[in-house]
Amino acid sequence: MVTRATKAANPGMEVVHAEAQVAEDLPEAERGTLGQAVYERIKDDIFEFRMAPGQRYSEQELANRLGVSRTPLRFALHVLAREGYLDRVGGHAGWLVKPFDLAYYEDLYDFRTQIELIAVRRLCAMDPAPDLSELCAFWRVPKRARVMDGKTVAREDEKLHSTLVALAGNREMLRTHTDLTERIRIIRRLDFIEPGRIRAAFDEHDKILGALLARKAVEAEILVNAHIGASRAEIRHITLHRLSLAAQQGAQAGAQALAS
């Protein structure tokens, strides 16, 4: 747990105040770049559960932790609040990492599934057939040629699902799917931690693309539904485990802070 620090206990506060003056002297574009960098760092901490759901932080604590001034920090915090990851609490300078609501993500997954089922149905009915060659070049390869890096596979997985919806040709459906993808990204990335799930993703996407190429709409829908269902089950298991670990670590940190 992040604890309050004084200048005597934390020399990093001197850096914060010095950087605040530097930030004010920077051109607006550079201040925006710094704010974006802070945003990415905090978001990554939230995604990796280093900033646990339900945990409260002050702006000063976060500024000390990240070694930045309040100006780029506030930019980052307000963007993350708009995206639904943080809430302002306890006055002007307090922030809360939103508690994790698995039911909310289950609803988003249901919505996303329905959009993708409509998309594959449309793709199979298109004349001429859509070009899936770029997707096949990554997913339909021999096992020895498969990429096993989790981050790369997560990025390509998101690209595949988004591309299928885009090729279906409905802009509003794509806009909604893009929004859903952004909202569930915090947990979807957990599906590609274990090598077994990465191998399964290749197998499942290979079959989905094969059904689309063969224009077998019913088979493609069944495969998409099963693929997303397997992903949901794995993510739910990992998320609950991560939340449990984060709670234990938070309790230990709190006990250590009280003891000191």
Could you tell me if residue 175 is inside a domain? yes
3-state secondary structure of 89: strand
The pLDDT value recorded for residue 113 is 96
Cα distances (Å, whole numbers) of residue 91 to 68, 78, 155: 21, 14, 38
Last residue of some domain: 73, 99, 125? Answer: 99
Structure tokens at 62: 């976060």
Could you tell me if residue 20 is inside a domain? yes
The pLDDT value recorded for residue 242 is 64
Asked whether residue 185 falls in the same domain as residue 118, the answer is: yes
- Is the model's pLDDT at 27 over the cut of 60? no
Asked whether residue 146 falls in the same domain as residue 230, the answer is: yes
Asked whether residue 151 falls in the same domain as residue 109, the answer is: yes
Asked whether residue 94 falls in the same domain as residue 109, the answer is: no
Average pLDDT, the chain: 83
Which band of pLDDT confidence, cut at 50, 70 and 90, is reported for residue 241?
low
CATH number of the CATH domain containing 58: 1.10.10.10
Asked whether residue 113 falls in the same domain as residue 195, the answer is: yes
Structure tokens at 181: 């993808």
The pLDDT value recorded for residue 12 is 35
For 79-101, what is each residue's pLDDT tens digit? 999 988 899 997 768 999 998 78
Q: Which residue has the higher pLDDT, 12 or 159?
A: 159
What domain count does the chain have?
Answer: 2
Cα 14 from Cα 75, distance rounded (Å) = 21
Q: Print the domain residue range for 222.
A: 102-241
Asked whether residue 52 falls in the same domain as residue 122, the answer is: no
Cα 89 from Cα 91, distance rounded (Å) = 6
Last residue of some domain: 50, 68, 99? Answer: 99
Q: Which residue has the higher pLDDT, 105 or 247?
A: 105
Which band of pLDDT confidence, cut at 50, 70 and 90, is reported for residue 212?
very high
Strand partners, 58: 94
CATH number of the CATH domain containing 218: 1.20.120
Angle at CA of residue 51, ends 194 and 66, nearest 5°: 115
Asked whether residue 108 falls in the same domain as residue 225, the answer is: yes
Q: Which residue has the higher pLDDT, 22 or 86?
A: 86
Sign of CA dihedral 126, 129, 133, 138: positive
Could you tell me if residue 5 is inside a domain? no
- What number is the average pLDDT over the span 30-52? 84
Could you tell me if residue 260 is inside a domain? no
Q: Which residue has the higher pLDDT, 122 or 246?
A: 122
For 154-178, what is each residue's pLDDT tens digit? 999 999 999 999 999 999 999 999 9
Could you tell me if residue 141 is inside a domain? yes
Asked whether residue 183 falls in the same domain as residue 90, the answer is: no
The pLDDT value recorded for residue 233 is 85
Could you tell me if residue 202 is inside a domain? yes
The pLDDT value recorded for residue 2 is 37
Which band of pLDDT confidence, cut at 50, 70 and 90, is reported for residue 248?
low
Last residue of some domain: 99, 123, 147? Answer: 99
Asked whether residue 142 falls in the same domain as residue 168, the answer is: yes
The pLDDT value recorded for residue 119 is 98
Asked whether residue 140 falls in the same domain as residue 204, the answer is: yes
